[in-house]
Amino acid sequence: MSKIKTVFQCQACGYASPKWLGKCPDCGAWNSFSEEKQSPISLKSFAVAEPQCLSKIIGGKEKRTPIGINEFDRVLGGGLVNGAIILIGGDPGIGKSTLLLQAVAKITKDKEKATPHSPQKTKDKTVLYVSGEESPEQIKLRAERLSINSDNILLLSETLVENIIKTAEDLKPAALVVDSIQTIYTEELTSAPGSVGQIRESAAKLMFFAKRSEIPVFLIGHVTKEGAIAGPRVLEHLVDTVLYFEGDRGHPYRILRTIKNRFGSTNEIGVFEMTDEGLMEITNPSELFMSERPLGVSGSTVIATIEGTRPLLVELQALVSPTTFGMPRRTSMGVDFNRVNLLIAVLEKKAEIHLGGMDVFINVVGGLKIFEPAADIGIISAIVSSFREIPVDAKTFLFGEVGLSGEVRAVAHADARLKEAAKIGFKKAIIPKNNAERLKNDLGLTIVGVKDVEEVIENIRI
C-alpha cells in the first residue's frame, strides 16, 4: 500500500518543508505553513501517448464561440474556445460573479443551429453554475437584479470536485462556472479547502475534465491582500487564460485585463461600468476618460497608451507643491512609483528643474493602471506643468519613452495612437522624433517630433 507523506506547505507561495517553520525561506511570509497529507499519484489511469511528427500534425484554427459581450470576447481573444479553462480573479465585491452571471445568460440565449451535416433540431444551450459560497436563493436575488431569468441556467451548491465533475458529465453543459475555486476540495486529500494542495488538485481535475469533454470551464479565484490570486501561482500555470478584474470601489468603472492567454494576445483589456442593472460595456473608453477633463488647468496632460491591441487616451494629472516636512513625498496612482522617481531625477539632472523640496503626486484619472513606458513624457509634462503653473493645450496629447540621459525614445503602434486621438478631436501630437520621421501624416494632426526632455518642455506651452 502506498505510504502517505506529510509535509508542511506555505499557503502564500507553495514552498514545502518536512517540518513546520515560522517564516517561509522562499517568500518570507510569517505563520503561513500548514500541515498537508500527500498521497502518491497512481499512474495506472493515464494512457500512454504516441509521439507525433511535427510536420505531419494538421494545424487548424481553434473553434471559437462569441459570448455576446463584446468587451469580454475581446479579452478572450475573440470568443470562447472549446475545452478552455479560464481563471478570473479580483477583489471581493468587484463584480466577478455579476460578470459571469451576465455571460452565462448570453451563452444560454445562443442557439445551436442545424447544419446540412448535422440536421438536428435547434436547442438551447445549458450552463452549469456551481457555487461553493452562495446559496441558490442568493444567486437568484442577483439574477433578479440583473433581469436574468432562464431555465437553461442550472444552479448547483456543491464543494466536492468529484460530484461537480459527475454532474457536468451527465448534463454536458455548454459551459461550467465554479465560484470559487478556493471553496472546492477533493476527497483524495485530507487538508482543508483553500489550501495549496486542495486548490492544485481540484483545479487539475477540472482541467482534465475540460480537455477531455471540450467544455469550457470558468474558475473564480480570490485574491490575497497583495493583489495576487490566492493559491498561489499554481492556478495560473494550470489554466489557459488568466483574467484580472480591476477597479476602485470609488469609481464605477471596471477593467478586465488579460494576464495570460494561450488563445489570444495578452495585456488586452475590456472596460465596463458598474450600474444598478449590472456591468455595462464601454465601447469607446477614450471618450469616457476624457469626458470630465478640466480645461485651462495646470498639471493635466493627455497620453496615448496601448492596452493589448486597443489604443486609449487617458488623462494624467500631477500636483507639485512645496513640502512642509524635511522629506518630500512621492505618491503615484496608476503608474509605477519607481518610474516616477526615475523621471523626477531625469528632470533635475537634464532639465535643471529642482524638485528636491517639492511634494509630487501623480494620478491616472478613471482608476486605470498604465504599465508601458510610453507614458513617460506625459508624466514629465504634467509635473513641469504643475511646477511652473503652465496649462497644457487641451488639444495636445503626448506619448514617448524617456531614457536616463534625457533622450526621448520611439515606441510601437504610433499610427494607432494617432488615429484614436484624431477620432476624438485632438489637433497636436508631441511624439518621439524617430516616430515622427517614419509617419505619413494624413490625419490632419500637427505632429511635433522631440528628441529630448528639454524639447518636450518647450513644446507643451499653449
Instruction: Tell me: do 129 and 142 sit in the same domain.
Output: yes
With 80 as the cut, is the pLDDT of residue 271 above it? yes
**Does residue 46 belong to any structural domain of this protein?**
no
Helix (H, G, I), strand (E, B) or coil at 69: coil
pLDDT tens digits, 122-174: 456 899 999 998 999 999 999 999 999 989 999 999 999 999 999 999 999 99
pLDDT tens digits, 186-223: 988 877 888 888 888 899 999 999 999 999 999 998 77
In this structure, the number of other CB atoms found within 10 A of the CB of residue 163 comes to 13
Percentage of the chain lying above the pLDDT 90 cut: 54
Instruction: Tell me: do 13 and 95 sit in the same domain.
Output: no
- CATH code of the domain containing 363: 3.30.230.10
- Domain span at 416: 287-459
Instruction: Tell me: do 279 and 310 sit in the same domain.
Output: no
**Does residue 16 belong to any structural domain of this protein?**
yes
Give the contacts of 237 (CB within 8 A, at least 6 positions apart): none
pLDDT at residue 133, rounded to an integer: 87
**Does residue 142 belong to any structural domain of this protein?**
yes
**Does residue 54 belong to any structural domain of this protein?**
no
| Residue of 308 and 272 predicted with greater confidence | 272
- As a whole number of angstroms, the distance between CA 273 and CA 270 comes to 10
Instruction: Tell me: do 254 and 348 sit in the same domain.
Output: no
Last residue of a domain, one of 229, 258, 283: 283
pLDDT tens digits, 327-343: 899 999 999 999 999 99
Last residue of a domain, one of 251, 283, 315: 283
Instruction: Tell me: do 243 and 354 sit in the same domain.
Output: no
Instruction: Tell me: do 30 and 164 sit in the same domain.
Output: no
Please report, in range form, the residues annotated as the binding site for ATP: 90-97
Please report, in range form, the residues annotated as the binding site: 90-97
Q: How many domains does the chain have?
A: 3
- CATH code of the domain containing 175: 3.40.50.300
**Does residue 56 belong to any structural domain of this protein?**
no
The amino acid sitting at 56 is K
pTM to 2 decimals? 0.79
pLDDT-based confidence at residue 3 (cuts at 50, 70, 90): low
**Does residue 297 belong to any structural domain of this protein?**
yes
- As a whole number of angstroms, the distance between CA 147 and CA 276 comes to 11
Q: Measuring CA to CA, how many Å separate 206 from each of 130, 166, 220?
A: 12, 11, 13
**Does residue 335 belong to any structural domain of this protein?**
yes
Beta bridge partners of 397: 429
Instruction: Tell me: do 195 and 257 sit in the same domain.
Output: yes
pLDDT at residue 379, rounded to an integer: 96
Instruction: Tell me: do 363 and 435 sit in the same domain.
Output: yes
